[in-house]
Each structure stands twice: as structure tokens, then as C-alpha cells.
Amino acid sequence: MKTDVAFADFKKFKTDSLVFGIFEDLKLDKNLEDIDKVLNNAIKEIIKNKEFKGEFKEIKIINTLGKIGAKTTIFVGLGKRNEFDIEKLRKASGTVAKFIMGENIKKFATTLHNIEIKEGISERAQAVAEGTLLGLYQFTKFKTEKEKIKQIESFVLISHKRDQRIIDGLKKGEMISEAVNYVRDLVNMPANLVTPEKMAEEAKKIANESRLKIKVFNKRDLEKLGMNVLLAVGKGSVQEPRLIILEYNSGAKESIALVGKGITFDSGGMDIKPDEYMRDMKNDKAAASAILGVMKILPKLKIPLHVIGVIPSAENMPSGSATKPGDIVTAYNKKTVEIGDTDAEGRLILADALAYAVKNYKPHAMIDLATLTGACIVALGYEASGILGNDRRLITKIKEAGEKTYERVWELPLWDDYKSILESNVADITNFSMSRRKEAGTIAGAIFLKEFIGKTSWAHIDIAGPAYLPSDREYMPKDATGIGVRLLVQLLSDWKRHK
């Protein structure tokens, strides 16, 4: 889709649809008064007849062909003036864009970024771009009747006065949306087509186009390195596991490791999942895909940091060669792990990846993302990711980035008292204890990971809920959402010296 910025008179601008926002107080600003005059008070008439109340996300379309430059004019309700914020701006933009697409309208211009809120014009332009481009996402790769797919061709941010900040905001929003939609596509791709090998190929493509350093360890490399916990998860599958490392180095001293769970399919392994729970498990690579999305745009944003993206990837399957409950393996950091449950595989592949990142890169801070536990969906639903860690400042920074992007995180405790949940009779630790299976599932996952990070400043984000939705939101689609990209890009953009 094409996007553009126009500095023009709203009345004269030629387009299929022109979009305005109206608050519940139904006050028309100068622009709308202007247009209403040309329309012979059509807007006031609609308001008087209560055909439009300005309720948040309410939509009204009127025919303006021959009267102003736009063939139709669309009003979107913004709700209460004093409750309006940047997230509502994204949501209104997404809602109206989807409406326009549904009407099979091809081109529109929006004025929504001109509405004043506490954020500046550049951030508002970015929000409108993101709400629109993320809202219009569709996964159509496997639909062969392409002519049936409704698609908007272009949208324009229109303002009266020329302003470079609008151009910059739109560009940034476009760049970020492109990365998020790339991640959604990758996560929505089925497991027969996206394997650990394919994840590595994707990473190589990104490395080439963005000039990043890349290392890919295959099964033999992993054996040599002693990553037996990652290998244990992949053992049941014909698809061999990989460890993928992408490096973006702006020359800055400060280094941050981003680690993402890349299970391309989670059948549960020998502890096989019931059908209902297995169905969507191609989504278990959501975190790894988000890390790829972040690495893709870091060079474009020229963020002054050294960022290491670490992706352990495997397919979790049952078979004659699969890891069995009770097996004991030695991790990269030499700790012994009893496999209490083969379905708690995410923490296993992350364990070796985290230990590898710590030993070989000694990052100043490390953040891992994972669709780790169903328990996190029980606790927080689809509205927030769980966050746990050992560094208050790091968690606070991530929370702030979460509020800004609305990719919100909610903290759970990580007290040592929980450690006993994962005590093993036979090894240093177990990944799951049957006798204590009902206790603090999300926290137990983080307690396990904590054994592999040494003293590194670290936060773990469990994205199991927001990564994959059961139904559409304003600018979040059903299924893969690409969550994590906007959160981490915001965090890294705002980064100030950590230590």
C-alpha cells in the first residue's frame, strides 16, 4: 500500500474518502465548520437527527461527490474529549481503515493526526500510520482467488501547513508497521513450511538486507557446544534444531541481548497436548519472530546500541527418538536438568540460549520473550504480557515502553521462595514438577530461566496471551499479532545508559 503526506485545503483535496474525527461533545472545529458550509449544513443536520453521536469508534459515511474534492466524507467518533489519548488515536485509525476496506474504497485521506493530545505531531502521525497499517493487515498468502481480496491502495495524511514532522512520523510508523506485519506473516505461516531451518533462512535474509552479523549453529555445532537441553527438545523431530544469533552493532559500548523462543510447532512432545490445545501451536515461534522483526529495523532507526538477537529454534514432537519424561540432560552452563514434562520445552531451549548469550556476549542487560505458559493467559488474559526479572530499573523501563505502545506488561513476583517448586530428586533442577503442577505456572517458568542467567540484569516477558488472539481488535488481528516488536523498539529507542 502507498502512503503519502499532503499539505492542502481539505475541501479541495481529491480522494475517494476524507476522514474526520468528532468528539461526543459534537463541537465542530474550524475545518469541519468550513466543510459544513460547502455541504449546506449536512453535518449539523446529521448531528441534529442523532444519526451520529460521536461515540468512540462510531462511524458515519456521507456522499460528498461534486460538493468537495472527496467523493465521500467519513466521520469517526472519538468519544469523550478529555479521555482521548494516543492509543485511542491508533484504535480510531484502525477502526476507520477497516471500515473503508470493507466498503471496498480504494483511496482515502485522513485528518486524525491533527487532533491535539499531549504527544507531538510526529508521534500522532506515527500512531495514525500504525493504527491504519496494522489494522489493515490480512494473511492472504494462501488464498488463490486474489481478486476476492479487498485492499486499500493508498492513504494520505492531510494537513493545512507543511510540516516535516508529519513526514517523519509517517515514515517511522510505516517502518514499524512493516516489521510488525512481517512478524505476523511469519507466525501465521504453518509449521510444515516454517521449520527451524527456515527460521535460520529468514534470519539470513534479514542479515543480508540490514547488514547484520549472523551465526547459525546446526545440530552438530550444538552437540559440540554442549547445548544438550536445546537438543533434547528437538530430538523427536525430523527437523533439526538451530541456534541463530543476529548482531547489530552501532559501535556503542552498551549491549543488550534479546532472546526469543522459537518453537516452530509445539505438539507437547511425549507429554502430548490434547487436540484443542495443540491446534494453534504454530504460534509458539511468536517470540523468535518478534526478535527477527526488531533486528530488521534497528539499523533503519540507527539506534545507538549493540543488540544481540538470540533465537533457539526447534520442533517439539513425539517419536521413537524423542526425549522422555524423566530423562536427564546437561545444559550449556553444566547444570543438570530433569525433564519433568516435555511440554515445558520453551524454558528448556531458552536455558541454553540464555546461558550462551551470557557467557559469550556478557550483555549489560538481557530480555527474553516467550509464549511460555498457558498459566499466563489464565492470569492476565490477552490484555497484557507477564513480566518477571531481577532488575527493578530494567522492568520499570519495559513497563514504560509498554504503556507508550500499549503492548502492556504486568509484573509477577520472582521471590526465591518459589524455587522449591522446581526442586528435583535426581538432578540440579527439573523443568516441571507433577506434584506441584498447579502452583504459579508462569512464575515457575521464570524461576527455571533464572538458573541460566548468572548475575546478568534480566527480564523475562511471557507473551502467551497477546501474541495470538482469539478474535480481532481495533488494530490487532485474530491469530498472530506481532506483539513485542513495538514494545522492544520503543524500549531501545528510549534507552539511556543502564549501568
Q: Which of 247, 315, 338, 343 binds ligand BES (CB under 6 A)?
A: 343
User: Smaller CB distance to ligand BES: residue 344 or 367?
Assistant: 344
Cβ nearer to Zn ion, comparing 136 with 349: 349
Q: How far is the CB of 325 from Zn ion (least distance, A)?
A: 13
Q: 105 CB contacts (<8 Å, ≥6 apart)?
A: 16, 17, 72, 152
Q: Are 498 and 306 in contact (CB under 8 A)?
A: no
Which residue in 364, 347, 374 sits closest to 451, CA to CA?
347
Q: By CB under 6 A, is residue 374 in contact with ligand BES?
A: yes
Closest CA to 356 of 476, 490, 462, 215: 215
Which residues are at the interface with Zn ion (CB under 5 A)? 263, 266, 284, 343, 345-346
Which of 11, 219, 273, 335 is an active site residue? 273
- Which H or E run includes 135? helix 121-135
Q: How far is the CB of 96 from Zn ion (least distance, A)?
A: 37
Q: Is 161 a catalytic residue?
A: no
**Using the rule CB under 6 A, which residue among 20, 99, 332, 432 binds ligand BES?**
432
Task: List, in sequence order, every residue forming a beta bridge with 19; answer none if it has no partner.
Answer: 74, 110
Distance set, CA 94 to CA 57, 114, 199, 360 (Å): 9, 16, 30, 43
* Under rule CB under 6 A, residue 345 binds ligand BES: yes
Does the annotation mark 273 as catalytic? yes
Residue 368 interface partner, choices Zn ion, ligand BES, none, CB cut-off 5-8 Å depending on type: none
Nearest 5°: the CA angle 118, 160, 136 is: 70
Contact segment (CB under 6 A) with ligand BES among 141-149, 188-196, 338-346, 403-411 equals 338-346
Q: Which is nearer to ligand BES, 182 or 468 (CB)?
A: 468
Joined grid coordinates for residue 490: 520503543
350 is in the binding site of which of ligand BES, Zn ion, none (Cβ under 5 to 8 A by kind)? none
Residue of 450, 236, 428, 447 whose CA lies nearest to 358: 450
If the CB atoms of residues 282 and 296 are measured against ligand BES, the closer one turns out to be: 282
Give a three-class secondary structure readout of 153-197: CEEEEEECCCCHHHHHHHHHHHHHHHHHHHHHHHHHCCCCCCCHH
Q: Which is nearer to ligand BES, 247 or 451 (CB)?
A: 451
Residues 267-296 that bind ligand BES (CB under 6 A): 284
Contact pattern from residue 352 through residue 371 relative to ligand BES, giving x for each residue in contact according to CB under 6 A and a dash for the rest: -------------------x
Q: Which residue is nearest to ligand BES (CB)?
A: 374
**Which position among 242, 261, 285, 347 bears the catalytic label?**
347
Which residues are CB-contacts of 411 (< 8 A; sequence separation ≥ 6)? 386, 387, 388, 395, 399
Catalytic residue numbers read 273, 347
Q: Which residues bind ligand BES (CB under 6 A)?
A: 266, 284, 341, 343-346, 371-375, 432, 441, 464
